Structure 1
Amino acid sequence: MSRPPENPADPAENQAENQAGGPVPGPVARPAGITVIAVVAALEATALLVAAGWYGFQLLTGAPVLSFWGAVFTLGLLLAFSAWLFAVGHFLFRGYRWPRAGALVAQLFMLTIGFPTLTGGYPLAGLAMLLPAAVAIVLLFDKRVIAFASRAGGAPPAL
């Protein structure tokens, strides 16, 4: 027999006690910061996928390269990093712990590419890299984001 869902706004249900005498743990609400970080990671992954598509098209149409296999390796790196960022955004949105470090590393890479781009004469492209990265880094250290994204991987509960 299952219990009806609890309403977190009802104070009587919030005072419920479990068998050990403590409060019943409830699901933690997803903070907006998690959604913002996941969207930033997904947009960056999409941009890398578009860049990989353009790079692959240029490679297939015969654009001059110094090393064909070096260009193929670069294309593979673009595709792998894109897939990795999609996974980081997805699993961070679901509340896992491990993508926080991956998201931080990706945003630090974005900062190291964004600053030279900004100062190298491409201010819009530089800002498009720097602003989302800075927002994501700040949100990664928000206590609500850390509290939500603290689920460890492993087997799901038995019951």
Structure 2
Amino acid sequence: MPVVNPDGYEHSHTHDRLWRKTRSRRDSEDYSGWLPWNWGRSECVGVDPDRNWDFHWGEQESSMDPCSDNYAGPNPFSEPETRAVGTAAEIRQPASGMSHDWAKARAGIKYSYHIDLRDSFGPYGFLLPGSQIVATARETWQAVRAIVDNLES
């Protein structure tokens, strides 16, 4: 069940390498947020699509502040990206409203996965050095291929 974010992906290549939110705009484009680190920002754009699913939406590791990187949106499925397809808690950290949780719990999809690429918890975080990109792609492909090859019909 691929979930894509084409506008956010393009923005990460042209403006902000670490961008992960959608590029949707709310009715009030001049919202500047109420948290101190948002003061002076004239526009808060997008929703974290991994926090926008209708399963324990807005409970943990998500924000109701539109300027936050993990903004869950005004309501579940507010984004066209999350409305188009349908638990990382045991593996990495509790986070709610994520696509794979919804796929399993609400859509009844038997196998749902959340893949975090390296180096989620290491020294680089989301800012992986270019020298590790090809190796990351290869190991991720091998993992996905092994999962698909071993699925029961």
Task: Answer yes or no: same fold by TM over 0.5.
Answer: no
The structure in which a higher percent of residues are helix is: 1
- TM-score, reference length from structure 1: 0.26
> 1 or 2 for the larger relative contact order (CA 8 Å, sep ≥6)?
1
- TM-score, reference length from structure 2: 0.27
Structure with the greater alpha carbon radius of gyration:
1
